[in-house]
Structure 1
Amino acid sequence: MPQHGQYPQQGYEQQQQQVQQQQQVQRPAPHRQAPAPEPVAGPGPDGIDWEAEAAALEAGGAPAAAGHEPQAEPEEWDGHHEDGAYLEEEPQQEAGFLGGQDDSREAKKKRKESGKKAGRRNGGACLLVALVLLGAMGGAGWWGYGFYQDHFGPPPDFAGDGTGSVQVEVAKGEVGGQIGLKLKKAGVVKSVDAFTKACDAEPKCRAVQYGFYVMKKEMSAASAVKAFVDQMGGASLVLPEGLNSTEIYAKIDDKLKLQKGTTANVAKAQVNELGLPAYANGNIEGFLWPTKYNIADGMKPEDLLKQMVKNATEKYAALDGQAASVNLKNGYEVVIEASILQREGNNPTDFAKMAKTIQNRLAAGGEINHRLGMDTTLQYSLGRKQLDRKDMDDASNKYNTYINPGLPPTPISNPGDDALQAVLHPADGKWLYFIAMDPSTTRFAETSKEHYANVEEFCKNAGEGFDKDRGHCTGKKS
């Protein structure tokens, strides 16, 4: 059959009429065939039996043109009529609304492919939903377990008696939870709750004494409580404010049942391992903090010394920033002045006035010439209380504040909080002299005349003579 050829002139009008009638014949879907002319009996001018073709179309089969081999698949309509005229194709619909389903091979193939894709999508969606549900169930279970552990389960705890050694300080007034927090930070217990629970179960733990305790790391809460109770029931060393290092060494020897001089020798030999700050220049005086120290079995003197130095260093950490407010150069000078207050004074309520007196003398010129004129500084360096004129005239002794202006080179005792706070917050006054008349009374004076009268009375009460030139007791019975 000629493609896009012109029909013969003979029978053209009849053929055109047939074409119009054929256009009204329902086209098969989804593949539209080119409109065929109305069939006539026998082969038409083009050699095709159109009546047979129409019958074949109505039967749903493929048209078989006379003289041509049957086609396996009908060719798709290319949008042109047999006469070459272009006809606009209507949009195809696989199955119209409430219409019949297209059962052609191509439509079935499309439905099959679409079904496979939909199946894969549905299967993937089901798998995703299943995984989400399993994850949600697992998360809910884990959350539930965590909630139970947090609210009803036992608190985290180590097992056993622990290893190593660590020192923990318990301050006055601290209770179970506060102590537990310190232990947790030091690595002793695993949780505050575990220690608190174990402490609540032990009546003796509810009244923990303040001081230093030697503990082990990673102890069970029960073992930590037992260690506290055992050390509370054992020996302890209480150091009052104002003792010097020599006096403290003797107390440690006595408490640890060591030969006299043992602690002093240890302090001298291990001074660089005790934790002293650089500004101490290797001098331990002033860094043996006065408080209560628990004595554990097998404790060595260096254990106690390290505790004392650590405590003092922590107390002094903020002093540098406060020294300038009282005309002192640094925090170490604050400690030195406080050590003199602690050694000179008998009553902490007088410390603020004593501090002001020292600061007034350091600032005064004239007859005083910035000199403190203190017995205690000279007594510290000589290691004895009795002083004579020769001692007081020795300018080579840097602790001789009768001759040398300013503060002595180091502390002369180990001060406590009261003395430190008095130095930083002195009273308001013009005093230049003070003398402790007895353990509860300190007299202050602004002039030397008034002061000498107080000293003479003191010497008389002590049964000693009075040196009017120096305003000092003679040290000899009157």
Structure 2
Amino acid sequence: MPQQGHQQQPPQPAAPQPSGPGADGIDWEAEAAALDAPQTPRVVEPESGQWADHEVEAFEEPEQESFFGEQDDSRSAERNRKEKGKKSGRKNSGACLVVALVLLGGVAGAGWWGYGFYQQHFGPPPDFTGTGSGSVQIEIKPGAVGESMGATLKAAGVVKSVDAFISAFNKNPKANTIQPGFFTLHHQMAASEAVKVLVDAAGGNALIVPEGKTAAVTYGLIDGKLKLAPGTTANVAKTQVASLGLPPYANGNIEGFLYPTKYSISQGMKPEDLLKQMVSTATQHYQDLNLDAGAQKIGLKSGYEVLTAASILQAEGNNSADFGKIARVISNRLSTPATQGKLQLDTTLQYKLGRTKFTVAEKDGDKSPYNTYVNKGLPPTPISNPGDDAIKAMLDPTPGDWVYFVALSPQETRFAVTFEAFKKDVKDYCSANKQGFDEAAGMCKS
């Protein structure tokens, strides 16, 4: 029973919530409505620079089916699925084609890069083909090796790359025989062809001056090599002797300073250029051998006397194996009473006469300083241009007491201590050369 004094109040309906922001300052209804409403992107208008709402075509969402739900098998649903499949297939095919093209392009680019990398690091070096064309003269300097040769040829346009030349050089078993000198090759040659030319040329355009030749003979060799009229080089040597670089101790005589070796010949070379090269080579070589110091050890006055004695040895000897003994004979004759300090050698008088044969009267009557039968000591100048073997033998003669010798052949030289033993050797020499023998003079009859 209700208590007295209180009336029961009927229930009151709930008051509606006020619209607009709540106590927290957020209008939750507006926010919820915004989430449920379609979204329109906002962009900046390029003309006004103000934000504006722009409608865009919405992407069509594919029908989603429940994993556990049943599939709609109606005809309309089937048509919809087929239509969507065609559209999706067309889109997927286009996308696959683009991807395939991109992949193929990438593979092709990678392949081209890989080929270039291989060629650069592992492939053959750049090279021309064939024997080339035109002509160019190059010089291979003394001491040059494959790399420096290749650099010279590449700079002249003969080969395409230094590496190609080095490769061809290493493959040619005769490449190490390439000698210094001037060579005429072609432009744009295959490296293998260039190496072959250098090998086959055997030193290129060069003049070889043999040991023991006189200046007169050497002049003729120069005229022939440079294709000059006979006597041209001799005239140049005579008129230009002061400018050829002879040392003061030569007293203006070029004999002995046309050093015997190989000289490169360039196009248009003049005889004076070649003579200067020969004199310079000889002078430097004699300094390197220190001839002045060597002269004191063997009882000679100067290095020039060593050179003169060596020139006689070179002219007298046939076999370098005998040079040490012949050097001893020359040294002994300059000091032994048996010859009264006279060399008594044919070669010195032959040099003065300019021929190999002379008479007894000429031997006894010629008073020139080159007649060592009548004059003591050495002649005033060398009588030939000696090589290293003769010079070194003169600086270090073989120990012995020989005073006489005669070369029976290039393979046999006989040495004797007494004059009687020597005359027997000379008689054998004259007989071998079908000449009579002068017993009193101890020489062959002319």
Query: Is the TM value for this pair above 0.5?
Result: yes
Aligned to 1:383: 354
Shift of 1:375: 0.3
The answer to whether residue 299 in structure 2 is matched with residue 327 in structure 1 is yes
**DSSP 3-state at the match of 1:241:** coil
| C-alpha separation in 1, matches of 2:309 and 2:149 | 34
1:400 corresponds in structure 2 to 371
Deviation per CA, 1:281-322: give whole Å up to 9, x if none: 111101111111222211111121111111111111121121
Gaps of 5+ in 2: 1-137, 156-160, 184-190
Distance change >3 Å, CA 177–CA 167, structure 1 → 2: closer
Q: Which residue of 2 aligns with 1:128?
A: none
Q: CA deviation at 1:210?
A: 3.8
**Residue 98 of structure 1 aligns with which residue?**
none
**1:396 shift after superposition:** 2.2
CA distance in 2, matches of 1:400, 1:213: 42
Cα 1:179/1:285, change in 2 over 3 Å: farther
Matches within 5 A, 1:36-115: none
Distance 1:455 1:340 in 2: 19
Number of equivalent positions = 289
1:299 aligned residue: 269
Distance 2:304 2:148 in 1: 31
Structure 1 residues 285 and 233 mapped into 2: Cα distance closer, same or farther (>3 Å)?
closer
Paired letter, 1:353: K
User: What is the rounded CA distance, in whole Å, between the counterparts of 1:302 and 1:380 in structure 2?
Assistant: 24
Separation in 1, partners of 2:247, 2:164: 38
Code of the residue aligned with 1:315 in structure 2: it is H
2: CA distance between counterparts of 1:286 and 1:342? 11
Compared CA separation, residues 197 and 305, structure 1 to 2 (3 A): farther
Q: For the residues of structure 1 that align with 2:372 and 2:258, how far apart are their CA atoms? A: 24
Correspondence for 2:166: 200
Equivalents in 2 of 1:177, 1:424: separation in Å?
39
Q: Give TM-score, length-normalised by structure 2.
A: 0.59
Change over 3 Å in CA distance of 1:233–1:446 after alignment to 2: closer
Question: Are 1:410 and 2:381 an aligned pair?
Answer: yes
Residue 313 of structure 2 is aligned to residue 347 of structure 1: no
Query: 5+ unaligned residues in a row in structure 1: which ranges?
Result: 1-165, 184-188, 190-194, 215-221
What do the CA deviations read for 1:91-122 (whole angstroms, capped 9, x no partner)? xxxxxxxxxxxxxxxxxxxxxxxxxxxxxxxx
Partner of 2:145: 175
1:312 aligns with 2:282: yes
Task: Give deviations 1:253-278, integer Å, cap 9, x for gaps.
Answer: 11111111111111111111111111
Deviation of 1:232 after TM superposition, in Å, equals 6.4
> Is 1:336 aligned to residue 302 of structure 2?
no
- Can you list the C-alpha shifts for 1:403-443, whole angstroms capped at 9, x where unaligned? 00101111111111100110111101000001110121110
Deviation at 1:339, TM superposition (A): 0.6
In the other structure, the counterpart of 1:421 is: 392
Measured in 2, the distance between the counterparts of 1:206 and 1:372 equals 48
Conserved? CA contact 1:338–1:419, under 8 Å: yes
TM-score using structure 1 length: 0.55
Q: Distance in 1 between matches of 2:401 and 2:352?
A: 29
Match of 1:69 in 2: none
* CA displacement 1:165-194 (0-9 Å, x = unmatched): x999626xx6357989xx9xxxxx9xxxxx
| Contact residue 290 and residue 416 of structure 1 kept, 8 A | yes
1:252-263 matches, within 5 Å, as 252-263=222-233
Distance 1:330 1:352 in 2: 20
**1:382 CA drift (Å):** 0.7
Determine helix, strand or coil for the equivalent of 1:459: helix
Report what 1:444 is aligned to: 415
Kept in 1: contact 2:181–2:206 (CA 8 A): no
Distance in 2 between the 1:334 and 1:378 partners? 19
Aligned to 2:220: 250
Q: 1:206 to 1:168 in 2, by over 3 A?
A: closer
Checking the alignment, whether the CA contact within 8 Å between 2:209 and 2:261 is kept in structure 1 is: yes
Q: Deviations over 1:369-393 (max 9, x none)?
A: 0001000000001100111122211
The question of whether the paired residues in 1 share the 8 Å contact of 2:147 and 2:166 is answered with no
Q: Within 2, Cα distance between the matches of 1:375 and 1:447?
A: 18
- Residues 229 and 429 of structure 1: is their aligned pair in 2 closer, same or farther, counting only changes over 3 Å? same
Shift of 1:213: 5.3
The aligned amino acid for 1:406 is G
* Separation in 2, partners of 1:445, 1:265: 43
What amino acid is aligned across from residue 378 of structure 1 in structure 2? L
- List 4+ stretches of structure 1 deviating above 2 A: 166-169, 174-180, 195-214, 228-235
